[in-house]
Amino acid sequence: MLLVLNTGSSSIKLAVFNTALELLIEGNVSGVGGAGRMALGDTREDVTTQNHSAALDCLLAGLPAHGIALSEITGAAHRVVHGGQTLTAPIAITAETLAQIEAMVPLAPLHNPPALAGIAAVAERLPHLPQFASFDTAFHATQPEVATAYALPKAERDKGIRRYGFHGLSYAGMVRQLGAGLPPRLLAMHLGAGVSLCAIKDGRSIATSMGYSPLSGPTMATRTGDIDGMAVLRLLQDHGLDAATTLLNKESGLLGLSGTTADMRALLADPAPEAAFAVSHFVYSVVRQAGSLIAALEGVDAIAFTGGIGENSAPIRERIMQGLAWLGEKPVHVVPADEERQIAQDADTLMARP
């Protein structure tokens, strides 16, 4: 069995797959570092955890009651958001690769530290298990330099300031699921709390809407999406670094536009003009980004939606496709996000190598 972990700053998600990569159970602990909640299979309970190791303990302790013996787990695999320019494929975690992940912390200070905490928690609790990492940035490593470079002086570009792109595990899972039905030119949309679009040509990423960080692209749940650099400098001047960072990432997007909520379902049901404007802004920004990526593809053969909104909100899909009606009739796919299974498959492939 394979244990898959997706670790956030105050949460840890777990999934267990068998050798056929069938999902056996999934669960999570929220509120890591204090009073929180654990869900595992069909059970729910309040828990208090001091750190990620304690949260992992809670999840592991509950597995036997669901028929999962810890002795049968043969590997642990992790989602790591940022692999930088060097970690562009799934890897077995060694002291060297762990140091490389740690070196990427300046590029992803909000995302890589929790992943490192998850890796450390497994090493502490299950030290015999081989561990593996899959990177959200890796799928986009196939992009040409003209798509990834910012027009900055070389000294700044050499610091790693460039487009990386994210949601790569979601897009890799989409390509895998479409299989032989994958069109040559696919416009893929991951619409959820985070939102990105990806131009996929012959199964490879050639351009994407997210850049140096997951902030750029269309309007998101609480992130601004694209915003002019001078506007960011104004926010820094007005609010300072920490407050401006919070504003851009956690207080903007659908939440900032509506003034009430970041939940798309609630906004669609809300008759208030602010809610309607937030939804219209979201749709407009996705359609506008779509045009850019269709240009990068030099046309499009099909469109695919994934993510919480992409999979579950038919009204949003319909409004986006209305905005793209000038394309003519194009096949539209709705593909379930399957990042955990993609991570499990990556690890399974690595374990099978001699």
Q: What is the pLDDT of residue 66?
A: 93
What integer pLDDT is reported at residue 109 of this predicted model? 82
pLDDT per position as a tens digit, 233-257: 999 999 999 999 999 999 999 999 9
Task: With beta carbons less than 8 A apart as the criterion, state whether 248 and 255 touch.
Answer: no
Q: Is pLDDT at 7 greater than 80 in this prediction?
A: yes
**C-beta separation of 140 from 85 below 8 A:** no
Count of H-run helices and E-run strands, the chain: 14, 13
Q: Is the pLDDT of residue 335 over 80?
A: yes
Confidence (pLDDT) at 25: 96
For residues 127-144, give the mean pLDDT: 96
pLDDT of residue 132: 97
Task: Say if residue 263's pLDDT is above 90.
Answer: yes
Domain with CATH 3.30.420.40 in the chain: 2-135, 183-334
- pLDDT for 352 equals 86
Classify residue 50 by burial, with Cβ atoms within 10 Å: 0-12, 13-18, 19+: exposed
In this model, does residue 354 exceed pLDDT 80?
no
**What is the structure's pLDDT at 52?**
87
Active site residues: 136
Each residue of 203-235: pLDDT tens digit? 999 999 999 999 999 999 999 999 999 999 999
Please report which confidence band the pLDDT of residue 165 belongs to, taking 50, 70 and 90 as the band edges. Answer: very high
pLDDT of res. 8 = 82
For 67-84, write each residue's pLDDT tens digit: 999 999 999 999 999 999
Share of the chain above pLDDT 90, in %: 89
Report the candidate in 164, 114, 116 with the shortest Cα–Cα distance to residue 136.
164
Q: Considering only the top CATH level, what class is 2-135?
A: alpha beta
Q: Which of 348, 346, 351 is nearest to 168 (CA)?
A: 346
DSSP helix/strand/coil, 80: strand
CATH topology of domain 183-334: Nucleotidyltransferase; domain 5 (3.30.420)
**Whole-number pLDDT of residue 10:** 80
Tokens describing residue 153: 């002086």
What pLDDT score was predicted for residue 134?
97
> Is a pLDDT exceeding 90 seen at residue 107?
no
For residue 336, the 8-state DSSP code is -
Q: What is the pLDDT of residues 21-55, one digit of tens each?
A: 999 999 999 988 899 999 999 999 999 999 888 99
**DSSP class of 130:** -
Look at residue 228 in the predicted model and tell me its pLDDT.
97
